[in-house]
Structure 1
C-alpha cells in the first residue's frame, strides 16, 4: 500500500506558490504541512467562494465574460466530481484550496490562474471557514430547537398520567431528596436551558455574518474589487471592516465552540440524570431497547450507552474549545500557519453536538417514566418538611423557629424509621402546639406541588402556563 507521504514525493506537480523556491519540499514537511485530509470537508464552501469571486471579477471588468464562463464551468464540473466521489484528493497539493485550483488548471489550462486575482489563500480559507461555521451554528440551533420541542411535548404529555394526575418526581439538591416536583417541570427546566443554547448559537451566527473575502493576504488589494458584492453573493450581511482582522481572527470559531461546550454541558447533565433514573435502584425510567445495548457476558444488562457516551463526549467538546483558545492566544497578526489547527476541533464539536441532539430527540419520546415509582420516591426523604415549616410560618411562627421545630421532628422520625405523617399526635404537639397528626397527614406530595404557585414554580397551573408559552414561542 502506498502511504500519503509516498504519494506526495512521487507527484510531478510544481507548487502553485513555488516560484522563488529552488528545492522541492521535504517529504516529511509535505505530510506535516498538509491539511487536505480534513479541510477537504470545506470543498462546497471553497467552490462557492470561488464562484462568487470570479463573478465579481467579471462584473468589475477585471476578467472578460468568456474567462468568467470558463472558470465557472470548470468549478461546477469539479463540484460535481467531488459530490460523485470521483475527485482525486492529493496530499502534495496541501489543502482543499490548492487541490481545487490545481484541478481547475488541469481542466481548463492557464486561464485557471486568473481566479486567484485579488485573492489570497488567507482570505480564501477565512471565508470558507466562516461559511462553514455560520452554517454549522444555524444547523445546531435548529437541532437544539427540535430537542426543545421534544422536551415541551414530553412536559405536556406528563401533565396527566394513567390515573389522571400529573406525574410527580422527587426534586433533588446535593442528590438528596429535597421537594416534590412535577416531571413536567423537570422537562421544562431542560427546555429552558436549550432555549438559551439555541440563542447562543444564533447570536454567534449573527456575529460572524461578515465576509473576509477581499481582505487578500492581510492588507487588502489594489484591484478595484467589490467586497460588498461577494459578501451578498455568499449570504453574508456585510464584508469585514478590517483586512488584518478578517484573515487573522478566529473568535467566530471560538464563540461557536463555546456555545457547543455549554450545550454539551447541559446534555451531559441530562445524561447523568438519565443514567441514574434508569438504574434498578432508582427505577424511575425505562429506556427504549433501540437506544440501549447489552452485555457480552451478563444477559440481564440493559446499558444506557447513548447517555453515557453523551456524558463522555462532552469532554472532547470542552477540549476543542480549550485547544483553539491555546492556538490563538499568542498568534501575532495576521495569518499564521497555527490557524490551520482551527478546523478539526470545530468539525468534531459540530458532529458531536449534532448526533447527540438527534439521538435525544429520538430517545426521549420512546422512554417510559414509572409514575408509581417516582411518586413513591418523592414521598420519601421528608420531602414535605418545608411545607410543614411554611404552615407554621403562616400561623405567625418566625420561619427560623419553624425550621428548627420541623428539623427536630425529622430527627425523631428518622431515628425511628418513620415518615413525618407517621408521627403520633402527641409527638407532633410536643414539638409545637399548632401541630397535630392530622396536620402531618395533610402534607401529601400532591398538596406540596400544588402549593408552589410562584412564577416559574412547579404547581400544575404554572407548568401548564410554561408549556403553553414554550409552544407559542416554538411555533
Structure 2
C-alpha cells in the first residue's frame, strides 16, 4: 500500500516499537464504519461544491463501498490510524489521481472528531434503549410486590418497614434520571465538527451544512478550533455512564447482601450465579459482584479522560488519541452491566416470608409508635422520641402499661390518661398498618406505590417516543446519504 503520509516531510520509517506506541488502530475498529460514512458525505459535498469532478466522486464512492464490503481486516494495520490506512487502501483501488482528492479541505483532526461523535451517538441511543428496558423491569417487579413487606434500612440498620415495591421504584427513579442525563449528553454529542480541518478551517469553499445534514447531526460546532480539540462530550458521556454504574453498583451490593443466609431476601437465577471449585454447596452472586467491580472500570475511564484533557493547550494534541479507548471501555462496560442487571432482577426469586419476618426486627415500628403518641396524647415529638427511645432498650414490643410507666417517669403522668389505648399501640406496632399510613406522595402505601408505578410507566412511554425520534432523525439522514451515494455508483447500500 502507498505510504501517503510520511513520504513528503519525513524521510525515515519508524521501527516496530514506535509504530506500536503511536498506533490507534486497536481502538479505531470502533469507528471503521463511521469513517466510511464521513468519507462518503465529504466526497459528495466536494463534488456538489465543484471541488472534485463527478467522475472522481463516483470512483471514490465506489472504492469506499468496496472497502466497506471488505471490512476492516483488509486494511493495512501497520499505519498509525484507520484514517490513513483507509485512504491508502482507497488509493490502491482507484489510483492516487482520483483517491488522493478525497482529503481536500479536510484534516484527520476534524475527521476523527466527527467519527467519534457518530459512533458515540449510536452507543448512547442503544444505551438509552437498554436503560428503558431495565427501568421497565424494575417497575414490573415492583408491581408484583406492592404488598411485599421488607425492612427499610438507614446505615444498613433496620429502620422502618417498607415494601419491596417501594424499594424497587426508588431504583427505577434513579435509572430514569440516568436516561435523562444520557439524552442530554446526546444533544451535545450530536454536533458536527466536519469542515473545521486541522483547526483553522480551510480555503476550500466547503458546505458544512450539507455534510452535517447528510450525517444526521443536529447542529454544527461553530468554532473550528473548538470543534477539533474539545473532548468535553466524551467527559460528559463518561460521567453519565459512571453515574449509571454507581447506581447499578448500589443494586448489585443489595443483591449480594440479600442473597446471603443472614438476609435470605432473594435468590439469583442459576444463570447469574456460580459455584465454588471446592465447596459444592456454594451459590455465589458473581454477576452482581462483577457489576459492582466494573463500576470501578468506568469510574477509572472517566478519571483518565479528565486527566488527559486537563491543561491541554488549544487546539489538537496527540494526547487526545488516548481518550477514545477509555470512552469505548466505559461504553462497553456500562451497556453490558445494564443488560446483566436487568437479567438478574427479572429472574431472581423473592423470599417474601423472610422479608416479612425481618420487617419488624430492630423495633422498626418505633417511629410510628412515636407518631401515635404525638397524635393521640398531644405531646411534643421530641418527648415522644425520648419515651420510645427508652422503650427501645427492651424487646421492641412494648405494652400500654410499659409505655405508661416510662411516660410517668418522664412526664409525670401516663399517656392512657391522655387517650392512648392498647389497640392504638397494637396498630402502631403492626408493620402493615405502618405502611398503609404512609400514603402521601412518594410513600410506601400500596395504593400510592401503584399510582407511582403507573406514572412512571407513562414517563417511559414519553421517553421511548423521544428516543425513537432521535433514532429516526439519524436513520432518515443516513438513508438520504445512501441514496445519494447509490445515485453516483449505481450500487445499493
TM over 0.5, shorter chain: yes
Residues 448, 270 of structure 1: CA spacing in aligned structure 2 closer, same or farther, 3 A cutoff? same
- 2:475 match: none
2:265 aligned to 272, 275, 284, which one? 284
Residue 270 of structure 1, CA deviation? 0.4
TM-score (norm 2): 0.89
- Distance in 2, matches of 1:17 and 1:367, equals 58
- 1:23 match: 12
- 2:435 match: 449
Residue 400 of structure 1, CA deviation? 0.3
- Distance in 1, matches of 2:83 and 2:386, equals 72
2:404 aligned to 390, 414, 429, which one? 429
2:166 aligned to 179, 182, 185, which one? 185
Residue 127 of structure 1, CA deviation? 0.3
- Distance in 2, matches of 1:401 and 1:425, equals 17
Residue 364 of structure 1, CA deviation? 1.2
- 1:474 match: 460
**Do residues 233 (structure 1) and 214 (structure 2) align?**
yes
Equivalent residues in 2 for 1:312-391 (5 A)? 312-391=293-372
Aligned to 1:470, what secondary structure does the other structure show?
A: helix
- 1:66 match: 55
Q: CA RMSD in A?
A: 1.3
- Distance in 1, matches of 2:12 and 2:400, equals 97
1:157 aligned to 139, 144, 148, which one? 144
- 1:144 match: 131
Greater relative CO, 1 or 2 (CA 8 Å, sep 6+): 2
- Distance in 2, matches of 1:425 and 1:199, equals 50
Residue 96 of structure 1, CA deviation? 1.1
- Distance in 2, matches of 1:203 and 1:471, equals 21
Query: What is the count of residue pairs matched by the alignment?
Result: 448
Residue 439 of structure 1, CA deviation? 3.5
Residue 368 of structure 1, CA deviation? 1.0
Residue 90 of structure 1, CA deviation? 2.9
Residue 13 of structure 1, CA deviation? 4.6
Asked if the contact 1:429–1:436 (Cα under 8 Å) also holds between the matched residues in 2, the reply is: no
Asked if the contact 1:428–1:436 (Cα under 8 Å) also holds between the matched residues in 2, the reply is: no
- Distance in 2, matches of 1:448 and 1:370, equals 21
- Distance in 2, matches of 1:446 and 1:129, equals 53
Q: Which residues of structure 2 form unaligned runs of 5+?
A: 408-413, 462-493
Residue 226 of structure 1, CA deviation? 0.4
Query: Which segment is superposed worse, 93-102 or 241-250?
Result: 93-102
TM-score (norm 1): 0.92
Aligned to 1:170, what secondary structure does the other structure show?
A: strand
1:93 aligned to 79, 83, 86, which one? 79
- Distance in 2, matches of 1:425 and 1:332, equals 74
Aligned to 1:379, what secondary structure does the other structure show?
A: coil
Query: Which segment is superposed worse, 17-26 or 328-337?
Result: 17-26
1:175 aligned to 129, 148, 156, which one? 156
- Distance in 2, matches of 1:24 and 1:363, equals 52
**Do residues 419 (structure 1) and 381 (structure 2) align?**
no
Residue 98 of structure 1, CA deviation? 1.1
